[in-house]
Structure 1
Amino acid sequence: MDTTQQPAALPTDELRELYRLVTAVRQLDLAAIAWQRQGIIPGYAPELGQEAAQVGSAFAMDPQRDFIFPTYREMGVALTLGVDMTAYMSTHKASWHGGLYDPVKTRLAPIQAVVGGSVLHAVGWAHGQTLSGGDTRGVALTYFGDGASSQGDVHEAMNFAGVLKAPVIFFVQNNGWAISLPTEAQVAGGTVAARAAGYGMRAITVDGNDAAAVVLATREAAAHARAGHGPVLIEAMTYRRGPHSTSDDPGRYRSLEEERRDAGTDPVQLLADRLLAEGIADSDFLDTALADAKANAERVREGVEALGVRPGREMFDFVYAEPTEALKAQARAWREESEHV
């Protein structure tokens, strides 16, 4: 059944923490775009407008037992989980594929560049939780966009999860665009949530700009999956306020006027307005959160710029558990040509 999650009360301390997090994500995201323009990193996938969806969903999970499977755009998820952001940004620096952080310790799988690829991994991990039994069952949370929902891998994963009742949450960030293609031109039926019924799973539609609503929706989905009732699909309705990536020019397929008209309420401003209106925070709190966020972004920049080049031999070391003869031959040839050994 497709339901719409309405905003409700969260504890004051959680709302304040959500604001600190979405502000930190916003400033780091803006900084990363600037770094790419300055040549500090070669590429980056911005998430302007999706901060609440990412922070709210990750905030709702239990890092002691759950596991999260990101795409290449979940910087906000990583920050919320407490991942070292220099280690995370190492992928965008092109010094390491998947991030230098420890996935087991952080409960965040390596960054996945294959569209829809992380969804398959999440279902496999979730089914493993079912097979292991016990009362400490973890829940997998996996992300993809409205564009990725058209990938065959996503449909196979959802079907598998539905049949096996795997404890997994499929979190769709519907930002209105599959690169240059609007959602209505590539999602039959109009919503991704409508597809859940075909796989026998519950669906929740939530305002992806409302961080508190996303927390509640994700907690509800996690409780459902953890209780053994099967997977849940959450469709967070938001808007991509900038380019698909730093190599994209959104002006080729939409106007700035259209972007301003369709983007809706800025998620960071929405939460700030709520905190002020309910007396949960004052302007000093907001100013401090912003200053801390900017300082954090600067620390990450310093760390990213200090990242060294990884040893070239690693491209051979981590291909197979037992290297093939062909791979050994390639490694020898590379060492002779590059290291002269």
Structure 2
Amino acid sequence: MSASFASALGAARAAAGAQHYPEGALYVVATPIGNLADISMRALHLLGLADAVACEDTRHTQTLLRAYGIDKPGTALLAVHQHNETEAAQAVLERLRLGQRVAYASDAGTPGVSDPGARLVAAVRAAGHAVVPLPGASSVTALLSAAGAVDDDPGFVFAGFLPAKAGERDSAVAALALERRAVVVLEAPHRIAALAASLAVLGERPVTVGRELTKQFEEIATLPCAGFSAWLQAGPQRGRGEFALALHPVARVVDSDEPLRVLRLLLAELPLKSAVKLAAEITGAPRNTLYEAALQLKDATRG
């Protein structure tokens, strides 16, 4: 165990030990995406408490546990990964039927978000056992929080890993070009150059690139999609590490008079919120702006 985590483990027991952890339940545990300090106190306590830990890679998870001072015998680690998830779920279910607490951790981040875990959770729920999430690190939310991908309409799309084959990847990018909202994409280092080439068709649309998030050589940069390939080629280290990308929302080009004309016509026939929603979809004008205009139009009508 690293000496720096000795006090953390004790603090985790003190902070989370009094909470209730039902037996016969699956605990979905988020683990750090790079920085070992990004572990929650509840996760530390539960990983020590669990009768078994199902994980994507038993060797990786054993190393992680030992770094925190948690020692599990090899028999307590169950391999559950994308190639055996459906079958391995049966071993987890057997332990749950015996009343054991089973933690599930992927190699990094939150299980079931591009990582294995969703099929295991579905099988556990179908069998009537409880599933308890222990939230924590995620490359998706980490990148979005630093991207500043501002839009009038909230929300984002998580696209995960795009297809590896060039034609399928280009088709996926073409579909993303039609998506107005921010889009988060993940990619591995050996495919990042190909993805950058495919994204070039999006031209000046901004993309925030997160490389090696939370790690020592973390880089976060916002640039046009057309310049992504050049950014990667600017240094030998740029193509290394895991990547999370956030395509920014598509900027709207709005005629100043047309949205108001459409809004007036719709307000004559529809309730205010419906009129605003349709006017925004028809004209591309920001919904908040149209809502304020609609309120002013209603007030003027009353006056």
The answer to which structure, 1 or 2, has the higher relative contact order (CA under 8 A, 6+ apart) is 1
Q: State the TM-score, normalized to the length of structure 1.
A: 0.29
Q: State the TM-score, normalized to the length of structure 2.
A: 0.32
Greater fraction strand: 2
Greater fraction helix: 1
